[in-house]
């Protein structure tokens, strides 16, 4: 039998990994990541990734330089007892890592938040089209006033191509941002997204939105929130690192934190929702 590949596993999917063996089906595969849906009550998503891939909160990071062959969607594997077995290969948990879960943004002085909003809205292009921006404005007003938000959230879910459509990335960034701000709107938005997402977007995105509702995010997004809270000089670098994630995922997540700030701070909402979208060229200033 071939030696198992050691992986660094996210503590967020620990129950599925250390529990009894269950089947897991490959639902998506890219050059750097394989996503498997575990046949457990929570429909846990596990992502087997290369060391240079984006470290999503459900990731198992293959250690070392060897990259195993990529299984095709529909391939059935087994998860449990500390291992993932797929296509005759075994990936065994060698160590654990904890996904970032930013907190404390709500204690940031309003003047610092305002400065960050001014820089971000002036330097980073809004990735949404007119319909998406209208849905965001409706979402912000609905959450601020305690009104139903299902129509607005529904227009964002599944909006755009890819494993994680742009609209979903905006919602994920909003959920993580609201968690970091300690906003009571978090649970309202999380419930609305959880109810609508399974019928509106990809299986992978449904799982990542679930992590976002718990406040879990990729390291690049945590870096941005830390820069907003503590270091204006670090903001350009942090924004650039986040914008480099995916085709538009980083831009969607970044816009999501602006949406979260608009929900929790009325004065900032005026600046964010009325901002004229910069030209695409201006987005490059953050890289």
Last residue of a domain, one of 97, 127, 143: 97
Q: Is the pLDDT of residue 150 over 90?
A: no
Q: Select from 97, 115, 149 the last residue of a domain.
A: 97
Residues 114 and 84 in one domain: no
**Tens digit of pLDDT for each residue in 168-225?**
999 999 999 999 999 999 999 999 999 999 999 999 999 999 999 999 999 999 999 9
Residues 87 and 149 in one domain: no
Name the domain count of the chain.
Answer: 2
121, 216: one domain: yes
Are residues 87 and 190 both part of a single domain? no
75 with 168, same domain: the answer is: no
Neighbours of 235 (CB within 10 A): 20
The residue out of 97, 114, 137 marking a domain boundary is 97
| C-alpha of 110 from chain center | 25
The set of residues, in sequence order, having a beta carbon less than 8 Å from that of 29 and lying 6+ positions away, is 35, 70, 71, 72, 73
- Full residue range of the structural domain in which residue 54 is found: 5-97
Domain check: are 155 and 281 in the same one?
yes
Q: Select from 187, 209, 195 the least CA-distant residue to 256.
A: 209
Instruction: Calculate what percentage of the chain has a pLDDT beyond 70.
Output: 94
SS3 86: strand
- Are 111 and 128 members of one domain? yes
Segment 85-140, tens digit of pLDDT: 999 999 999 999 999 999 999 999 999 999 999 999 999 989 999 999 999 999 99
Least confident piece of the model among 19-33, 88-102, 233-247, 268-282: 268-282
Q: What confidence score (pLDDT) does residue 26 get?
A: 97
- Residue 91 and residue 115 share a domain: no
Q: What is the Cα–Cα distance from 40 to 224, expressed in whole angstroms?
A: 34
What integer pLDDT is reported at residue 148 of this predicted model? 76
61 and 142 assigned to the same domain = no
Q: Which pLDDT tens digit goes with each residue over 164-182?
A: 999 999 999 999 999 999 9
Structure tokens at 24: 């897991």
Q: What is the pLDDT of residue 281?
A: 35
* Same domain membership, residue 183 and residue 120: yes
């Amino acid at each position: 039998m071939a030696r198992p590949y050691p992986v660094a596993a996210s503590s967020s999917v620990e129950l599925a990994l250390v529990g009894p063996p269950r089947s897991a089906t490959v639902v998506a595969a890219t050059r750097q990541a394989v996503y498997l849906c575990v046949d457990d009550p929570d429909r846990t998503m596990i992502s087997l990734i290369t060391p240079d891939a984006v470290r999503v909160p459900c990731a198992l990071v293959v250690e070392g330089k060897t990259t195993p062959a990529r299984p095709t969607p529909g391939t059935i594997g087994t998860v449990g007892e500390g291992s993932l077995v797929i296509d005759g290969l075994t990936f065994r948990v060698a160590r654990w890592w904890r996904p970032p879960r930013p907190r404390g943004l709500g204690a940031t002085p309003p003047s610092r938040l305002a400065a960050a909003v001014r820089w971000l809205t002036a330097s980073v292009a809004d990735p949404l089209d007119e319909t998406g921006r209208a849905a965001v404005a409706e979402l912000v007003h609905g959450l601020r006033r305690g009104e139903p938000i299902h129509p607005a959230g529904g227009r964002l879910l599944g909006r755009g191509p890819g494993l994680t459509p742009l609209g979903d990335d905006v919602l994920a960034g909003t959920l993580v941002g609201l968690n970091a701000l300690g906003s009571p709107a978090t649970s309202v938005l999380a419930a609305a997204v959880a109810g609508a997402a399974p019928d509106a977007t990809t299986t992978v995105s449904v799982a990542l939105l679930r992590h976002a509702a718990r406040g879990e995010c990729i390291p690049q997004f945590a870096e941005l929130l830390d820069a907003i809270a503590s270091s204006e000089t670090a903001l350009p670098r942090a924004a650039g690192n986040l914008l480099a994630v995916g085709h538009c995922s980083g831009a969607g997540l970044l816009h999501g934190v602006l949406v979260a700030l608009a929900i929790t701070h009325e004065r900032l909402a005026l600046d964010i929702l009325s901002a004229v979208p910069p030209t695409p060229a201006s987005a490059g200033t953050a890289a």
